Copies of this chain bind each other. A is one copy, B any other.
Amino acid sequence: MRHYKFHKERLRSSGLRPTKQRLAICKILFDRKETFHFTIEELKKIAEKNISLATLYNTVHAFKKSGYLKEISLKNKKTFFDTNTKNHHHFYDEELSKLIDIKNENISLNNLPEAPYGKKIKDVEILIRVANNNQKQKK
């Protein structure tokens, strides 16, 4: 268990008890180099089989509330979560149901329109839908 101590301390500092289940889920979600985008269903597939589905839901929501994860806007029926909690944007490959990060600095969004009266902007999410470069021409 590599970052065991880190996870344990972070959980404690969020007021969450570092249980066996939570540490196992931390390992899956956060002990990796790249951003991880996942649905609960995918997490269930890779998690140890003795962690209940209810715990996966509970834990992911607790982690989201503590700011370890964020939720992504998609019209998919399943909710996606993202281990990258920085401001950033996404490519979405609908065929593969896969998200790919776009760093905030790799996309320039000048002159945002003004928020409606009495409202202020909380955040901006850009989703760029991509598909296979279908070079299926007539022939």
Q: Taking beta carbons and an 8 Å cutoff, which residues of A are in contact with B?
A: 71-75, 79, 91, 93-94, 100, 102, 106-113, 115-116, 118-133
Contact = CB atoms under 8 A, between A and B. Distances in A.
Nearest to A111: B108
12 contacts: A72-B75, A107-B109, A107-B113, A108-B111, A118-B132, A118-B133, A119-B133, A120-B131, A122-B129, A124-B127, A125-B127, A126-B126
A interface, over-half SS: strand
Contacts of A107: 109, 111-113
A115 B127 contact: no
Given A71-B75, A111-B108, A130 B121 contact: yes
Contacts of A130: 115-116, 119-122
Given A74-B75, A124-B126, A127-B73, A119 B106 contact: no
